[in-house]
Structure 1
Amino acid sequence: MKIEANSPDEYLENVPEERKEPMVKLRSVIKDNLPLGFEETMSYGMIGYVVPHSIYPDGYHCDTSLPLPFMNLASQKNYIAVYHLGIYANNEMHTWFINEFKKRTGKKPDMGKSCIRLKNIETIPYDLIGNLSSKITPQEWIATYENNVKKK
């Protein structure tokens, strides 16, 4: 599902009605918990949280005109998705997230490499998404990114 939007507010205006409340709440939880320095923007057709060029002038290696991506929030066809590159790049954080998700929901998360698929809006662990959002500063993300990507 592609939502045409030029801003996060416009994106949320165009989300299907049944997903608006959880999307607004997820956005709020993420913004309230992200360490200082990350910036909210539209990124890859989703709400994105990035390290801006003012902090990391090198930008994203695939397209240096883009800021360094970190998290995204999207309404997909069959679920709400939270993309967190930290759980992809850091095995310890990945394991922590899976264990904490199981504690809160009784189930293991439906995940891709960096994608957390939230199919049941009634059981979204908002506190866990907030906690996950707070775990990495922009400076820590830059160091992880450079260690995992730029050296290759």
Structure 2
Amino acid sequence: MTIDAKTPDEYIAKLPQERKEAVSILRKSIKENLPKGFEECISYKMIGYVVPHSLYPNGYHCDPKLPLPFINIASQKNFVALYHSGIYADKKLLDWFVGEYPKYVKTKLDMGKSCIRFKKMENIPYKLIAELCQKMTPEDWINLYEKNIKK
């Protein structure tokens, strides 16, 4: 499910009614808990949180004209997805998240490398996502990105 939107507000406005509230709460939780320096935008046709060129002029290695991506929220056909590059690049952070998840949600964690999938909106652990967002500053992400991902 691709949503063509120019702003995060427009993205949410185009969501099916049953997803608007959940994605809005998820967005608010991320915005209120990300360390200063990340910017919200539309990135890859999703709501994105990026390290802007003003902090990291090199941009994303796949396309340096784009800012360095960090987190994305997407409404897919069968689920809402949270993409978090930090848990993909930092095993310690991934292990922490996987260990904490069952304390918040009784169903099994549905996760890919950086993608956390929520099929039922009532299972989104907003407090856990908020805590996850607090764990990495833009500077931390740049250092980790340059060390582990950028080749």
The question of 1:72 aligning with 2:72 is answered yes
TM-score under structure 1 normalisation?
A: 0.97
| One-letter amino acid of the structure 2 residue matched with residue 21 of structure 1 | E
Give the stretch that moved more between structures: 104-113 or 92-101.
104-113
Moved over 3 A (4+): none
Maintained 8 Å contact 1:73/1:83: yes
1:2-151 pair list within 5 angstroms: 2-150=2-150
- Deviation, 1:108, is 3.3
CA RMSD in angstroms, aligned pairs only: 0.8
Maintained 8 Å contact 1:35/1:137: yes
C-alpha separation between the residues in 2 aligned to 1:108 and 1:94?
15
| One-letter amino acid of the structure 2 residue matched with residue 45 of structure 1 | K
The Cα offsets for residues 34-72 of structure 1, whole Å up to 9 and x where unpaired, read as 000000000000000000000000000000000000000
- Deviation, 1:85, is 0.3
Percent identity over the alignment? 60
- Deviation, 1:109, is 1.2
Maintained 8 Å contact 1:98/1:108: no
- Deviation, 1:141, is 0.1
- Deviation, 1:102, is 1.0
Maintained 8 Å contact 2:89/2:149: no
Structure 2, gaps ≥5 residues long: none
C-alpha separation between the residues in 2 aligned to 1:31 and 1:93?
19
| One-letter amino acid of the structure 2 residue matched with residue 88 of structure 1 | Y
C-alpha separation between the residues in 2 aligned to 1:133 and 1:41?
16
Maintained 8 Å contact 1:89/1:148: yes
The Cα offsets for residues 78-116 of structure 1, whole Å up to 9 and x where unpaired, read as 000000000000111111111111111133310010000
Maintained 8 Å contact 1:101/1:107: no
Structure 1, gaps ≥5 residues long: none
| One-letter amino acid of the structure 1 residue matched with residue 114 of structure 2 | S
| One-letter amino acid of the structure 1 residue matched with residue 137 of structure 2 | T
- Size of the alignment, in residue pairs? 151
